Amino acid sequence: MMKNSLEKDQKEGDPWSHRLTENPGITHWNGLLKLLGYISYSKNLRLNLSNIQETADSDADFANNRDDRISMNGQIVFIDQVPVTWRSFKQKSICLSSMESEFVALTETAKELIWLQRILTECVEFNLVSLTALFTKQRVSAGIE
């Protein structure tokens, strides 16, 4: 996500950073030294977020596109009831059943949860209250009947 954001800024042009690279002077150098000093000073500081509840919702629309019969996924991840990531996308393969489509959607959402947990663990002192809850709307994929 961060990589995509940086690539987008580079493609579209971030006016703030370009403004500072045009004709740099002593003021810019002093600002850079202050920034590097702050980064050096604060590299071991972390946010302490405790008692966090992480939940996610996942859904799939089985073969609804008549052109290519590829299912659509939708997912949203919440931290303490605040949505932090969400997306809707086509699956990478053709599924043969709605249950398979739901499992593919759940797998993609689980990968997103793992990615988010790793980032939170790396950036802050991150403690989950309980296991992450991953919900789906289809009973057939929630428990095979």
For residue 141, the model assigns a pLDDT of: 46
Number of domains the chain contains = 1
- Structural domain that includes position 103: 50-137
What is the model's pTM? 0.56
The more confidently predicted of residues 49 and 109 is 109
For residue 129, the model assigns a pLDDT of: 52
31 is a domain residue:
no
Best CA proximity match to 78, nearest among 107, 58, 57: 57
Which band of pLDDT confidence, cut at 50, 70 and 90, is reported for residue 105? confident
Q: Is the pLDDT of residue 72 over 50?
A: yes
CB burial of 75-86 (b: ≥16 within 10 Å; e: otherwise) equals bbbbbeeeeebe
130 is a domain residue:
yes
32 is a domain residue:
no
Q: Is the pLDDT of residue 143 over 70?
A: no
25 is a domain residue:
no
How large is the average pLDDT for residues 73-86?
Answer: 87
4 is a domain residue:
no
Q: Is the pLDDT of residue 81 over 60?
A: yes
The more confidently predicted of residues 67 and 5 is 67
45 is a domain residue:
no
93 is a domain residue:
yes
37 is a domain residue:
no
For residue 144, the model assigns a pLDDT of: 45
Which band of pLDDT confidence, cut at 50, 70 and 90, is reported for residue 131? low
Helices (H), the chain: 2-12, 15-21, 26-42, 98-123, 139-142
Which band of pLDDT confidence, cut at 50, 70 and 90, is reported for residue 50? low
